[in-house]
Amino acid sequence: MYFSRSLKNAAAVVAITIALGAPALAAPSGITSPKEAFGHDIGDDYFLANYTQLEAYFKTLAGQSDRMKLVDIGPTEEGRREYMAIVSSPANLAKLDRYREIARKLAKAEGVSEEEAKALAAEGKAVIWIDGGLHATEVVPPQALIAALHDMLTKDDAETRRILDDVIILFGQVNPDGQELVSNWYMRNADPAKREFGSLPRLYQKYIGHDNNRDYYMSAMKETTNVNRIFFREWYPQVVYNHHQTGPAGTVVFMPPFRDPFNYNYDPLVMATLSEVGSAMHSRLISEGKVGSTMRSGATYSTWNNGMERSITYFHNTVGLLTEIIGHPTPMQIPLIPKNQIARNDLPAPIAPQEWKFRQSIDYSMSINRAVLDYASRNRERLLMNIWRMGNNSIERGREDSWTVTPKRIEALEAAAKGKPLVGTGRDAGIDPGLYAKVLHDPALRDARGYIIPADQADLPTAVKFLNALIKTGVDVQRADKAFKVAGKSYPAGSYVVRADQAYRPHVLDMFEPQDHPHDFAYPGGPPIAPYDSTGYTLAMQMGVKFDRVLDAFDGPFQPVADVMAPAPGKIVGSGKAGYLVSHEANDSFILSNRLLKAGQGVYWVKAATKAVGKTFAPGALWVPATPANRAILEKATAELGVDAYALAKAPAGETLKLKPVRVGLVDKYGGVMTSGWTRWLMEQFEFDYQVVYPQRLDAGDLAKDFDVLVFTNGVLPSEGGEGFGGRQPKADDIPAEFRGWLGEVTEQKTAPQIAAFLQGGGSVVAIGPSTRLAKLVGAPVVDALQGADGKPLPRNSFYIPGSLLEVSVDNTQPLAFGAPKSMNVFFDRSPAFAAGAGARAAWYPQGDVLRSGWAVGQDKLVGTGAVLDLDVGKGKLFLMGPEVAQRAQSHASFKFLFNGLQYGPAITAGR
């Protein structure tokens, strides 16, 4: 049973009504049922439909129903096609282009008056996105998606007809590859009682697994790009519903609203409407006798950080919904959790412990979908007007002086009032109201009217990648077709502008400005409350983009950028015959060097700063001696990559390092590690050859036979709190033979001696994040700077930095830091730091506050500690990188540490 005693009688009536068939619903004839398509009803125990079946079924339904159109929205990373079902009344489907244009006009708001917006809202239809399958081992959502589509195509009751008339529903499966993998793995066992998917051999998205829900402001993956295009460039839904699991123990489902904090950049209407929709969801379940829903303090989910599917919508004036439900095709048990047996504001109707069937979770999901669609139907015009109003608010704020109040500004306000008498008496007493304008509206701290990205920065191709990420999420970007001047500063033609007077201003601010996460402690003096995800992630800072904030109105010869773009073509400059010099400062220079090395061409790093052709090249510039073959490679690559090569009459003076094609072993383990997957994707983008290597191969030794460099990312070492999501590994006999070689763990007893021997013989090892404890395992003299006298990690109320951006100083004369600026921002997520003394410090934490975006407790403990180290171990090189230098393919500024480590170690050891 679903329900508590308090609701038992009402729920029983509902159940009896359903059992008797309820008021007769005249289903449209000729619609294939799931039972007919799959041989099973959706929600049957021990059954999961895979994506091949879902796709075929959706195509069948599209041919049978006049309520549906099926749209191919793009490819997946494994090459499947991702489909979206558009469901509405036949009359609405006949006018889809018109309703999509109305949704676009209202969402973008530019040039739309309030009167025109009212007329458009009266004519338009609410657009609601409902998905399933993002996290493929959360198997309820994709199965419920099938049931929901069939439900909307076959029912003909008054509510269904009203929803179809008022709403355009977009049903999307957002991880087709994952559904195929998980469902096939579960169904592979003929014995239903032995079916499981806990022993999956690899990540359920080709590269990044669970992190596919952390890619939404970067759009690195094809699936993310597809969905963002639908959200912010084609259909502009007012509500996005992202189904997940699993619900908190002792409950059935977590639903909005969420706990604090919420982000200060987006419009308050987002949160107000989110609470309304959340209330409708809870009310619907309870009214149907479906109890056990919780909210706010019932789980850790918040609305602070950008980058998840539902959270990026808040920065686009859209209501993003997340639910987390229980359920499994193998029947399960709801446990008895004492605290969840007493009703409270955040758990209004507890559920008794009981056996739970898969179909019950499907039923709950269907009811929640109906709650959202019913709300959208009843509030159609208001949803449409509100998305226009929020967009219009953003435009107006971007055209006038405005301020974003953050915790640091409140701290400044309190400091300014300290020691001064209160104004007023009794309950009306407060600090001097004049401080509001003086502190909170300090003219020097007003929000930017826009941002200028100069074309003459050292790594413009990476800046273009940043701008493409904005464009993929619907942000308007402009390009100057002539030189111009703003606020007394001159900018060259080709510079880019991102204005703040646009509907998606909240997203613009969030991508350019630091996040200021509030201090969030369990109680005064107590431990910090862990955030749901990152607290500081400013993308422009992560990518090292150079930009200027413009505080006043400005204009110039700016033209809109219509779509994602390539960087302006590079070229070969000069006519010298000796060879070519290329700056190391552009990340894409690694692509160029890899292409040349694969073609058998010589590539060198010039160790000292070099002056040539009237320019000064920072240490590490690439020198490519001229040959008949490499001119063509350079011409093609420079044009494609936006990197210039300078043809010199003679080779640069000074010492060089000769690069060699490197054989990279990227360590992973059974089940897959997300950080390793992200790094795999990065290596493909930057054209490094690599081989995934598993613990059994490491344990076998003789590693130099196959590898020049081994890379250990966060999570590949056991018992370190990494990001593996793996769990206990299966027995070899229980999995197909092709995956048995992936089993095993990196161990001190068997693996470490082989790594040490590899280093002693001249191999290189790159260790990132917690995997830097490899240093201890191979006997390198490195001391953890973030432990107390007892050898244990510092307590959390003394030192705690979760997912934030910190400043490091860089010695860019060292090969490990070639091409980097003298300071940069790195992503620190409870990362290690190293006491001074061991090895050469390529990067370290300087004096003063190092927090640049996010939240930090005890950041003074980092002062002077090492962030990136270069150590000699025997004839080899051990590179320790405490920060997440390849964080989710976002931290382009620190990619150079990783890429230099791949090329530098083999180069230096080859010359020994």
Task: Count other Cβ atoms within 10 Å, centred on residue 597.
Answer: 19
Residue type present at position 128: I
Answer whether residue 19 shows pLDDT above 50: no
Residue type present at position 697: R
Contacts of 115 (CB under 8 A, 6+ apart): none
- Which candidate, 592, 692, 594, 578, places its Cα nearest to that of 641? 592
Architecture of domain 664-784+833-843+862-910: 3-Layer(aba) Sandwich (3.40)
**pLDDT for residue 727:** 56
- Which candidate, 892, 890, 894, places its Cα nearest to that of 216? 890
The C-alpha atoms of residue 46 and residue 188 are separated, in whole angstroms, by 11
Strands 126-132 and 239-244, bridge-based pairing: parallel
pLDDT digits (tens, 9 = 90+) for 850-908: 999 999 999 999 999 999 999 999 999 999 999 999 999 999 999 999 999 999 988 87
- Which candidate, 681, 669, 800, places its Cα nearest to that of 740? 669
Whole-number Cα distances in Å, 407 to 261, 295, 724: 11, 25, 34
> Please, what is the end-to-end C-alpha distance for the chain in angstroms?
73
Sign of CA dihedral 143, 144, 148, 150: positive
**pLDDT for residue 909:** 59
Would you state the torsion angle of the CA atoms of residues 295, 299, 301, 302, taken in this order, to the nearest 10 degrees? Answer: 60
pLDDT digits (tens, 9 = 90+) for 445-476: 999 999 999 999 999 999 999 999 999 999 99
Report, as an integer, the average pLDDT of 377-403: 98
The C-alpha atoms of residue 188 and residue 79 are separated, in whole angstroms, by 22
DSSP helix/strand/coil, 686: coil
Answer whether residue 4 shows pLDDT above 80: no
Answer whether residue 26 shows pLDDT above 90: no
719 vs 330 pLDDT, higher one: 330
Answer whether residue 432 shows pLDDT above 70: yes
Cα-trace Rg, the chain: 29
| % of the chain surpassing 70 pLDDT | 95
The C-alpha atoms of residue 141 and residue 133 are separated, in whole angstroms, by 6
**pLDDT for residue 210:** 97
Whole-number Cα distances in Å, 155 to 159, 379, 896: 9, 22, 57
Specify the residue for token string 């997340």: 322
The C-alpha atoms of residue 453 and residue 479 are separated, in whole angstroms, by 9
Strand-pairing partners, residue 565, are none
| Lookup: tokens for 706 | 């196959």
Q: Of the ranges 27-31, 538-542, 550-554, 819-823, which one carries the lowest mean pLDDT score?
A: 27-31
The C-alpha atoms of residue 490 and residue 568 are separated, in whole angstroms, by 20
The C-alpha atoms of residue 276 and residue 279 are separated, in whole angstroms, by 5
**pLDDT for residue 724:** 36
**pLDDT for residue 13:** 33
Strand-pairing partners, residue 99, are none
DSSP helix/strand/coil, 1: coil
Specify the residue for token string 């994040």: 769
- Tell me what the pLDDT averaged over the chain comes to: 94
Contacts of 26 (CB under 8 A, 6+ apart): 156
Report, as an integer, the average pLDDT of 43-54: 98
DSSP helix/strand/coil, 872: strand
Binning pLDDT at 50, 70 and 90, where does residue 836 land? low
Report, as an integer, the average pLDDT of 188-215: 96
Report, as an integer, the average pLDDT of 705-720: 91
Report, as an integer, the average pLDDT of 616-635: 96
The C-alpha atoms of residue 370 and residue 356 are separated, in whole angstroms, by 22
Answer whether residue 160 shows pLDDT above 60: yes
**pLDDT for residue 28:** 72
Binning pLDDT at 50, 70 and 90, where does residue 9 land? very low
Beta strands per DSSP E along 295-421: 302-303, 319-325, 332-334, 354-356
Answer whether residue 788 shows pLDDT above 90: no
pLDDT digits (tens, 9 = 90+) for 126-136: 999 999 999 99
- Which candidate, 301, 129, 308, 313, places its Cα nearest to that of 218? 308
DSSP letters for 157-204: SHHHHHHHHHEEEEEEES-HHHHHHHHHHHHT-SSGGG---TT-SS-S
The H or E element spanning position 712 is: strand 709-712
Contacts of 220 (CB under 8 A, 6+ apart): 681, 888, 889
Task: Count other Cβ atoms within 10 Å, centred on residue 353.
Answer: 13
**pLDDT for residue 2:** 43
**pLDDT for residue 279:** 98
CATH of domain 572-658: 3.30.70
Q: Do the beta carbons of residue 484 and residue 576 sit within 8 Å? A: no
* CA 900 to chain centroid: 25
Strand-pairing partners, residue 75, are 81
**pLDDT for residue 29:** 73
Specify the residue for token string 């005890």: 858
Give the residue ranges of DSSP H helices in 766-894: 774-777
- Which candidate, 479, 459, 482, places its Cα nearest to that of 471? 479
Binning pLDDT at 50, 70 and 90, where does residue 21 land? very low
Specify the residue for token string 């959340």: 278
Give the residue ranges of DSSP H helices in 302-357: 309-314
Q: Of the ranges 73-87, 157-171, 718-732, 828-842, which one carries the lowest mean pLDDT score?
A: 718-732
DSSP helix/strand/coil, 826: strand
Contacts of 587 (CB under 8 A, 6+ apart): 459, 461, 462, 686, 819, 892, 895, 896, 899
pLDDT digits (tens, 9 = 90+) for 734-774: 999 999 999 999 999 999 999 999 999 999 999 999 999 99
| Lookup: tokens for 223 | 């699936």
pLDDT digits (tens, 9 = 90+) for 27-40: 577 999 999 999 99
- Assess whether the region 5-18+48-394 and the region 664-784+833-843+862-910 belong to the same CATH fold: no
**pLDDT for residue 274:** 98
- The domain segmentation of the chain, as residue ranges, is 5-18+48-394, 449-560, 572-658, 664-784+833-843+862-910
Looking at the domain covering 5-18+48-394, what would its CATH class be?
alpha beta
DSSP helix/strand/coil, 409: helix
pTM of the entire predicted model = 0.94
Q: Do the beta carbons of residue 192 and residue 331 sit within 8 Å? A: no
pLDDT digits (tens, 9 = 90+) for 226-275: 999 999 999 999 999 999 999 999 999 999 999 999 999 999 999 999 99
Answer whether residue 528 shows pLDDT above 90: yes
Beta strands per DSSP E along 343-404: 354-356
pLDDT digits (tens, 9 = 90+) for 344-358: 999 999 999 999 999
* CA 38 to chain centroid: 34
Whole-number Cα distances in Å, 544 to 886, 894, 895: 13, 8, 10
